[in-house]
Amino acid sequence: MAVTKAPASKAKTPAVKKPATKPAVKAVKKVTAAKKSTKAPKAKTLNTQVPVKENIDMVQNVLSIKAHNEEVKKAKVQKKVAKAPAKVAPKATVVAPIKSVAERNKSKVVKENAQKTAVKKFQLEKEVVEKEPKACCCCCGAKSGLFGAWARAYKNILNFKGRTSRYEYWAYALFNMFFAFFVYTGLGIISENTIAKTGQPCAWCSGFSSFIMFVWLLIAVSLTVRRLHDCGYAAWKGFFRPMVAWCVVMFLLSVASSYMQIGKADISSFVTRSIGLVAIIAFVAIIYYACKISIVSGFYEEEKADNAYGAPMYNDACYKKYGIRYAGLMITGFIIIALIYIGYMTTIAINLLEQLSA
């Protein structure tokens, strides 16, 4: 008998999932990433599966933890403040009171008025300067010209106070030099004519010459005193007093020498030599002080501000320039006149020698 095998009953076994391979995992990741990029993110929703009671407990725990953390922070800050040194309170800044609109307008009006007055004053000074006649180097008769300075010198002949500028000093000297030249030339011609007609010299010519020399001496002294005041010097103390003293000494010595010659007194040679030596010293001192006065009064600059003798006048750049020019003309004219006088006296001496030799 044939034995037949009964079919084995197939037992069901659980299916075991095989682990996914790496390429499959990468493909799934790419797909999920693409879906996430295309789809909008969904709003987060609360987990409704958690009971409401548990949610409330969690919220309360979180809030209590936050409150505890804040209290810890405050305690730390208070400790730091207590340890830190006390800071000096800043000084209170004084704030200037704010001016009202009326006060601002008033200050503006005051400033504008001050500016207007300053402009008016400047314009008036400018008009005065423009109206003043400018200096000229001719006898035009203007207030600041040669003739004006010469006339003011004669007007202030006895004025030993105040000030005189260097310009006026040289303007008078220049004009008076030419005036004196013409005066003495005229007197010489008149005296020669009177001698030729009457055989006697002119009486009034010598008297007029002496008078005008005395007037010019007074003018020169007063003008020089005012000019020294203009430079800021005391004219009598440092200049004229020593010069006058030496002049007195010279006069006394001349009187003594004339007395010795007239009386023919028997005086030793030591005395005569001493008198001669003192006379030489006095003469040198007089020359020194005369040169000092001439240099200071003629070439020193004036004080620009007011001094004890008054306010300055005619001391701007224009008048200074003309003053220097007049000084040069004065010196040149004096040299020319001296040469003419020397030539004239030389011709007279030659004529006398020829007459004596004949």
Residues with pLDDT less than 70, the chain: 1-55, 84-102, 126-144, 260-270, 315-316, 358
Residue 107 lies inside a defined structural domain of this protein = no
Residue 319 lies inside a defined structural domain of this protein = yes
Residue 348 lies inside a defined structural domain of this protein = yes
Residue 146 lies inside a defined structural domain of this protein = yes
> What is the number of H-type helices and E-type strands within the chain?
10, 0
Q: Which domain holds residue 174?
A: 139-357
Q: What is the pLDDT of residue 193?
A: 84
Tokens 């006379």 correspond to what residue? 279
Q: What is the pLDDT of residue 11?
A: 45
Instruction: Compute the distance between CA of residue 267 and CA of residue 257 in angstroms, rounded to an integer.
Output: 11
The helix (H) or strand (E) run that includes residue 96 is none
Residue 238 lies inside a defined structural domain of this protein = yes
249 to each of 78, 126, 215, 253, 266, how far by Cα in Å? 105, 54, 25, 6, 23
Q: What is the pLDDT of residue 239?
A: 81
Residue 49 lies inside a defined structural domain of this protein = no
216, 213, 238, 215: which is closest to 300 by C-alpha? 238
Quick: pLDDT tens for 102-142: 677 777 778 888 888 888 877 777 666 555 544 444 443 34
What are the backbone dihedrals phi and psi of residue 353, each rounded to the nearest 5 degrees, phi first?
Answer: -65, -40
Residue 158 lies inside a defined structural domain of this protein = yes
Instruction: Compute the distance between CA of residue 66 and CA of residue 75 in angstroms, rounded to an integer.
Output: 14
Instruction: Compute the distance between CA of residue 315 and CA of residue 303 in angstroms, rounded to an integer.
Output: 9
Q: What is the pLDDT of residue 3?
A: 44
- What's the number of domains the chain is made of? 1
Instruction: Compute the distance between CA of residue 159 and CA of residue 168 in angstroms, rounded to an integer.
Output: 15
Quick: pLDDT tens for 185-216: 888 888 888 888 887 777 788 888 888 999 99
Instruction: Compute the distance between CA of residue 46 and CA of residue 49 in angstroms, rounded to an integer.
Output: 9
216, 212, 214: which is closest to 153 by C-alpha? 216
Instruction: Compute the distance between CA of residue 259 and CA of residue 263 in angstroms, rounded to an integer.
Output: 6
Residue 67 lies inside a defined structural domain of this protein = no
CA dihedral 306, 311, 317, 322 (to 10 degrees): -140
Nearby residues of 69 by Cβ (< 8 Å), 6 or more positions away: none
pTM > 0.75: yes or no: no
Q: What is the pLDDT of residue 160?
A: 87
Q: What is the pLDDT of residue 101?
A: 65
